[in-house]
Structure 1
Amino acid sequence: MTDYIDVDVRPILRAGGEPFSVIMAALQRLAPGQGLRLYATFKPVPLFAVMADKGYAYADRPLEHGEWEVLFTPVETELEQASSAAAGAGFDDWPEPAVKLDNRDLEPPEPMVRILAAADQLGPGETLSALLRREPVFLFPQLEKRGFRWLGGFTPDGATYELTVRAP
């Protein structure tokens, strides 16, 4: 679970100031794996791309009076957690993928259709890898229903979801 430090830039914004340097200074003070909880008087959409370039995913929610809370979570933490869980679950002995799919240019549901079709062709214990633009949340129950195991996470830049699937 990610630990967050709070940065409330609402007073700076209300006073007509520019809080970007305060946010970047707070970012520099974060410990490895730590996230940033930002409070702002507006949804800080331009900041999302800046933080993605620095390796942070975001989740936002509106507050009262048009204000916003945004959680910036280090993407590496998600990958490290997935890797740790995988190592503990015996995923570290998986073979190299027999099939490699790049589904980043496809629109849903085509990535799921391609992955399931390829997975059904795998031999016992074989794996496939797939690159996607987003986390395939609707695919996971389908894989589990068919007896497949899977491991996935976003790359550090947050642009690609890497999925590995192993046949039963």
Structure 2
Amino acid sequence: MRIVDLDVRDMLRAKQEPFERIMETVSGLEPGDVFQLHATFRPDPLIRVLGRQGYRSTVVQEGEEHFIVQFYREETERPFFHLDNRGLEPPEPMMRTLNFLEQHPECQAGELGLEIWNERVPAFLLPELEERGYRYEIEQEESGTVRVRIYRTQ
């Protein structure tokens, strides 16, 4: 389980076509991987193409010309954006998670969930989430990764 990152913003600004590179990256994905694409616009045609191939997607706008789109195959009732916090020292995983939730109104509105990947159960984060009105589900993988799905009910 990993996030495979591809930034095509420079290609798009140079008027190059990134579709072949995107599809090459998608073809190398393993089950459980999340493909994370950085683009200068919301790539709705690509979202439709990969949607027909069974991929769900979430889109977050980070700046005027910076859209992050994540594609994944997991079936969930709501879309989830994924943050890989593995390898980070405390309190960075907690701060990244809370900052993401604060900066994205779609999470606050319950339209988008957040799934974090940690190396252990984030004991100090859980009461903070509850205090802010978020619910969560914890799943411990055999690999040692702890997946925490964070969401608000609408």
Bigger relative contact order, structure 1 or 2, given CA contacts below 8 A and separation 6+? 1
Q: Which of 1 and 2 has greater Rg?
A: 1
Between Structure 1 and Structure 2, the one with more helix by share is: 1
TM-score, normalising length: structure 2: 0.46
TM-score, normalising length: structure 1: 0.43
